Structure 1
């Protein structure tokens, strides 16, 4: 059905009411040297008449038309000429509408802003249609053969059975490849959309943050300055969200260096144990001669922690978390878009004995904002961030799961090809150089409730402290990775993901010079009592009573001299 040298041009039925768009569409095909004859219609009756004739190779249709819509056109085409490929070409087709159109029988879609994709989509749609015709013909031939089996001798029956099995295997393999292609195209489309949104959002945040800085110079009163500080904190949280989106779309800034994954995983044991709690056992299986991985050291630590927290949430009391490293040489081509290409990889796997992942959920786990957790318990960006990081690093991800048995997530990272490449150690951070003699003490406030965090930060600013904010435990750790120069962390106890005790354990294992103060709405402090230092003078009850918050913050900070030095390498995972 695709044109060949000397063949007749493609017969295209175009449903389009815009003269300009029709010309642009024809020009796009002409530029790609796709010979075609276009029959254009603009009305329901005209479209119904042309589809009834059944003389076209492919249908291209706008989605929004006067007194006529694309879904009605699709339904009419499926009735009149079900074997003709149907492609939407529209400037208003959103992701949800496009998916719905594909469910109802559309072959593909192209946005008018990306007409350069049109020739490829047209030729691919024609090729797929031809493949479907061949498959239908093969199936009909198979049915004809089966009807005559009784008249064949036993040997001929056996031969036909073998041919039937081979044909069924080919059909199943083709369907699997087509399914993988559709999944890859969907993730690529979502990634392009996500990247564009994140880029535009970062531009907006740049304008907001820049103008906040300009306003701070002109605003004289302290109340307005505090409000500007809150606005800056919101802009920074937005920037962290866009960073996760850029990770999925493979646009984040990475600094790959040779990393010994065994050393990284082993040094995370205390952090992981504090994040898992005492009810989950941690086991590590590390290959002794593991290849160095070329990867961003900070990001792989966060990826492992992210996967471990997901595993913890999927397990009941008494579960087991296993972290494994291995050298892996892959020869098979990937069957899903997230899987790595053939090659040599250093692999790190996080496995659990939890509930497993159902097939319908597994098909969507890497999509951003898709989550099965209840509202407030997850953002849906965790596995999307893992997918984007692994792909951008030059590797991939594989998920093996069994419902009721558990899940294993394997992250494949490119090995370092050099024979002996020393691992780069992080540089030390001298906090004394970052602060002047009159600078205020710095307090990090971590709370997933924005309103409560606003109250806490406002009171502490009024008390004269410099404030940094984080909306989750992982966000707090990421913030400290960038700048660990704070004096005190004020942690909410009850947070999704990592609770306050788990965040405190991570901070104490990596940045022991930082003091900890817990804020909780629970009257029972049993969990806090198990934490070293979780005594009454380090816990503030919500709602705040009098100057309890300010008094306990001042007591903790006065008990030690101002922070002088933080070694960036000494406290890393």
Structure 2
């Protein structure tokens, strides 16, 4: 493919010189397209960027001189090389021209040098252009360098964070695996020890019985009684070891845990003592659990005694039941697998556990109690029973903030919650006619605070119902949703006020909610539907603020709507 012709702007007034120069240019070996001009105006019109590859100019013209042409070219197209070709160009003038920006010069007496001079001028111009382009590219690179460094730093930070998260997840999984393996190994060891000890205790207890038949004196009989008591305590310890190792014999049947907890009230009171206040929050639509009824009572008693020991003087122990559907995969050996469970939780206001204690809490014989105050088998027995039953546990605790142990027990197949269907409707105007006292539901886990709140609102002319937890509040509304306002505490164990309010709005969106709190997460309250300061009452109550905000919430609530009666109600 032929090279593009050399574009040359020639400033020359002599026709003869122009012909001689054109003849010399043929020696370049490439086509040359020459535009010849003789005046300033014609030169100025042609000397524009990108139109010519080189400018060749005479030094002396009748109406225009070469120095003026050079100045004009420097102003209009400085990137185009400028070469003087004159017969009157002296050495001093040539040097001055080069200082003013000319690329080179040739005298008309030595036109044979012209091709070489043009080739050199074009090469230098090309080098200057390349340098200029490289400099411009470098400047652009420098301008974007900071942004690219910041972007790369962000990418590296994201990659590092992802890698760190993977490492942490792997470490967590490895730690969970090590804990599970350790508990399994200890379980196998304790199982063998328990079986061997049971054999020994059988021999000891049997021979004590034989000796009692042959011993007549009272002193020897007292000693045999002491030996029998020690053998019985040893049998209890081996039973706990078998429970931890999941080798005990279980007889699972559908169990109503609400009934179990209610029936244990007197036993718990006598075992824990009067200094600890016992509260229950039993879900009315509770599923039946498929468990060994006797063993589940021991689990609740064990957890209650541990809770009592964690509270130095007095305190509050709360037993709660609920239906739970677990979706998350377990992250610790004691956590439940995904599925449907009946949950019973035992919460206390005691000292809580440190992370170091929590990591070993299910190990047999591990205890933080003083010597002689505990065997260290209580939670180990609970762990073994729950895992053998097909359930799991979760512990929520922190030093100084109490402990809540949630026991997840498998739901009995075919059992359904005793709860109203989603489409069931109640005629609130029939049960609570217009003009009747507004019905309020006061929800607070602290019995003293709840009593104060309910008393003040009762004295203000409202019909007040009470609930001790978020789950209990939901159960109360399922039984009778004809409530004009729910006044709920934010900070409660288990389901806090914000979580309860979110669930409440899903089921009964027409019931307004007023939050009572001493300190709360504003974001959680906003998500739960609290609207500004009017939706929150601060504890302790000040100057009728509770009564004033209750009245405002009732005034702003939607007009009560008639609701249809269910088919079940019609058939009744």
- Measured against the shorter chain, the TM-score band is 0.3 to 0.5
Query: Does 1 or 2 have the higher relative contact order (CA < 8 Å, sep 6+)?
Result: 1
TM-score scaled by length of structure 1? 0.45
**Higher Rg of the two aligned structures:** 2
TM-score scaled by length of structure 2? 0.45
